[in-house]
Structure 1
Amino acid sequence: MRIAVINNFYPPRPGGSAHLAQHLARAYAAAGHEVLVLTATYADAPLDEVSRGVRIVRVPAWTLPKTRFAANFDIGFTSSPKAKTRVFSLLDEFAPDVVHQHGQFFDLTWLSGWWARKRGVPTLLSIHTRLESPLSRFNSFVYATADRMLVVPMMRIHRPKVVVMDILMDRYIEKRYRRVISGKVAIPVGIDPEVLRGGSAEVAFRKLGFDDRPIILSIGHVIPQRSRIALVRALPKVLARVPDAAVVVIGGVYHDEFLQIAEQLGVRDAVFVLGAQPQTAIPDFLAAADVEVHELEGGGFGTASLEALAVGIPVVAAIEPDNFLDIVVEDGRELYITPPIDEANPKADPDALAEVLIGILQSPDAARSAVGANAMRLVDEHFAIEAVARRHLQVLADMAATRPVRSPASGS
């Protein structure tokens, strides 16, 4: 097959969807398929390159101003008349059998969907982000309006089949997009476990400037959906029982309220913020960590948490046991599920979170090792990129096989 992979986010731009798109593109190429990636320009990354059998073309982009409305995230958009011509030309030249898009609200998804509709090419869409705001009703209203006025009409054009990664996304898709998609397929997010294993704790401690303190690692950009507020509110109780514990946050800080709260609570000295780190540095910090925690808003379980599970690090998250739909996890078996504030509020209760963290940090090594072994087995069986790519490829092949035979459209 010829597969076009579309994502405004792609390495070296950091982010979970960027790395998943890269992993899948490489897996498609390794399986013998021709792969073209279209993404937005980023920093000094090459405009056109071939890496591991994948051609990557970066379309000139402009960056959305960093505001609280955009979660202070640097989102690159390519929208322009030249971009439309460029994208259509590249796709016409490549002539994909199927298009795999990432992100429902990016302009490259819209442009490739427009092209696919004109050319009769099926589209598979992986939705990584729910357009919701846990901290602002006004923002939630604006996001819902944008979903209804912009995203839904664009999806209606090419009616993609949608990849459902977890139970919360399934509910969101049913609520927002059910009438404008051609179907759903449940495939979890995938990672490459092997690149995460074998890190050096010594290297991480050297970068941190201290030796062998208990580390509560927190990986991922700090945004309202992953605010770290519950974590710092739990920290005074944790430090009372584990005085030398350190919270290490890796990721861009686009929402800094957690640091202000840490100052107010007098625990700021125990919080180490390293900013975004290259993917190659993550294994070292995982090797040094005693526990990983950042999914505390009741918003699911992302790539960073899976990466910690992959190396056997205990992970604490505010999720439901059936978060992965047909893959059920159990508290204390593969990971630790922290209780919510109450039934109506899925966010982690800081007091309950503190007790969970203390229990992990003070538990015998054998108990943590047992949970870690279960975690690694879970990832290897269900979330390793090879298994996830195989499921994607089967879906893509089925879609390509049902493509109607038609003459190429003329013009754009």
Structure 2
Amino acid sequence: MRIAVVNNFFPPRPGGSSHLADHLAKRYAAAGHEVLVLTASYQNAAAQEIRDGMTIIRIPAWTLPKNRFAANFDIGFTTSPRTKRRVFAILDEFAPDVIHQHGQFFDLTWITGWWARRRRVPTLLSIHTRLESPLSRVNDFIYAMADRVMVVPMMRLHRPRLVVMDILMDRYVDKRYRRSAGGKVVIPVGIDPLVLRGGDASVAHAKLGFSDRHIVLSIGHVIPQRSRIALVEALPEILEEYPDIAVVVIGGVYHDEFLHVAKRLGVEHAIIALGALPQREIPDYLAAADMEVHELEGIGFGTASLEALAVGIPVVAAIETNNFIDVLVEDGRELFLVDSVGSTDARADPHSLAAALKRVLRDPAHARSVVGENAKAFIDEHFTIDRVAAKHLEVLGEMASAR
């Protein structure tokens, strides 16, 4: 097959969907398929390169000014008078049998969807982000309107089959896109465990400047959907028993409310925000950590959390036991689950979170040797990038044949 992979986010830009698109594209090429990647330009990355058997073309992009509505996120858009003509020309020359798009609200998704409709090429669209705002009713309303006015009409243009990765995304797709898509398929996020295992804790300790403190690692960009506020609110209770605790946050801080809350509660000394780091540095911090904690808003379970499970790091999260649809998780078996604030509010309860963290710290041997090993086996069985890529290729092949 000739497969076009489309995502405004792609390495060297960090992020979960960026890494997933890269890993999948590599597996498509390794399986013998011709792969073209279309993405937005980013910093000093080459405008065009060939690596790992795939051709990557970066379309010139501009960045939205940082604002609270967009969670201060630096989203790159490619829209310009020449973009459509260039993208159409690139795709006409490559002549893909099928297009795998990432992100329903990116302009490259819309433009390639337009091309696909004109050329009658099937599209598979992975939905990574739900347009919802748990902390602002006003923003939530605006996001819902953007879905209705912008995303849905463009989706109706080429009627992609949608990839849903967990139970919350499945509900969201049914609610927002059921009538505008060409069906859906359940495929979880995939990761490469071998890239993450074997980190050197001493390297992380040297960079942090200590080796004698408990480390609560929190990986992923800080946005309203992953605000870290519940973790900060749990710190006073944790510090009473473990005064040496260090919460190490790795990821761009696009929403800094958690730092203001920490200052108000007098726990800012326990927080170390490192900002975004290259993926190659993450294994060292995972090896040094006592646990990983950041899925606390009840919005699902992302790539970073799966990566922590893959190396056997105890993970504490606020998710449903059927989060992954086809496979169930159990508290104290693969990870440690946290109660939510209430029946209609899925955010982690700070007291329940504090209890879960102390549960790990009081018996680290059990957390590592039993729960951690279960977690590694869980990832190897269901979430390796090779398994997930094989599922994608099966769907893409079916779509290409149906054409």
TM-score with structure 2 setting the length: 0.99
1:329-357: CA deviations, max 9, x gaps?
A: 11110001100011111100001100100
Letter in 1 for 2:393: L
Q: Distance in 2 between matches of 1:338 and 1:161?
A: 34
Determine the structure 2 residue equivalent to 1:230: 230
Q: Distance in 1 between matches of 2:10 and 2:38?
A: 9
Determine the structure 1 residue equivalent to 2:335: 335
Determine the structure 1 residue equivalent to 2:111: 111
Specify the SS of the correspondent of 2:300.
Answer: coil
Determine the structure 2 residue equivalent to 1:132: 132
Once the two structures are superposed, the pairs formed by residues 179-198 of structure 1 within 5 Å of their partners are 179-198=179-198
Determine the structure 2 residue equivalent to 1:355: 355
Determine the structure 2 residue equivalent to 1:43: 43
Once the two structures are superposed, the pairs formed by residues 282-301 of structure 1 within 5 Å of their partners are 282-301=282-301
Determine the structure 2 residue equivalent to 1:251: 251
Specify the SS of the correspondent of 1:372.
Answer: helix
Deviation of the 1:368 alpha carbon: 2.8
Q: Distance in 2 between matches of 1:94 and 1:356?
A: 52
1:392 matches 2:392: yes
Determine the structure 1 residue equivalent to 2:25: 25
Letter in 2 for 1:263: K
- Percent of pairs with identical residues: 70
Determine the structure 1 residue equivalent to 2:61: 61
Determine the structure 1 residue equivalent to 2:158: 158
Specify the SS of the correspondent of 1:179.
Answer: coil
Determine the structure 2 residue equivalent to 1:206: 206
CA contact (8 A) 2:316 2:335 kept: yes
Letter in 2 for 1:145: M
Q: Distance in 1 between matches of 2:94 and 2:241?
A: 60
Determine the structure 2 residue equivalent to 1:98: 98
Deviation of the 1:364 alpha carbon: 4.3
| Count of residues in Structure 1 that have an aligned counterpart in Structure 2 | 403
Letter in 2 for 1:386: D
TM-score with structure 1 setting the length: 0.97
After the TM superposition, list the runs of 4 or more consecutive aligned residues in structure 1 that deviate by more than 2 angstroms: none
Q: Distance in 1 between matches of 2:367 and 2:158?
A: 50
Deviation of the 1:85 alpha carbon: 0.7
Deviation of the 1:80 alpha carbon: 1.2
1:175 matches 2:175: yes
Determine the structure 2 residue equivalent to 1:84: 84
Deviation of the 1:366 alpha carbon: 3.3
Once the two structures are superposed, the pairs formed by residues 279-318 of structure 1 within 5 Å of their partners are 279-318=279-318
Structure 2, unaligned runs of 5 or more: none
1:48-98: CA deviations, max 9, x gaps?
A: 001111110000000011100001000000011211011101100100000
1:371 matches 2:371: yes
Q: Distance in 1 between matches of 2:166 and 2:220?
A: 18
Determine the structure 2 residue equivalent to 1:408: none
Letter in 1 for 2:272: F
Letter in 2 for 1:356: A
Determine the structure 2 residue equivalent to 1:148: 148
CA contact (8 A) 2:290 2:364 kept: no
CA contact (8 A) 2:334 2:371 kept: yes
1:14 matches 2:22: no
1:249-276: CA deviations, max 9, x gaps?
A: 0000001110011111111111000000
Q: Distance in 2 between matches of 1:389 and 1:187?
A: 9
Q: Distance in 1 between matches of 2:194 and 2:267?
A: 35
1:33-59: CA deviations, max 9, x gaps?
A: 000000000000000001111110000
1:192-248: CA deviations, max 9, x gaps?
A: 100000000000011111113110000000000000000000001111111111100
Determine the structure 2 residue equivalent to 1:242: 242
Deviation of the 1:367 alpha carbon: 4.1
Determine the structure 2 residue equivalent to 1:410: none
**332-341 or 363-372, which deviates more:** 363-372
1:366-401: CA deviations, max 9, x gaps?
A: 343110011001111111000000000000000000
**50-59 or 364-373, which deviates more:** 364-373
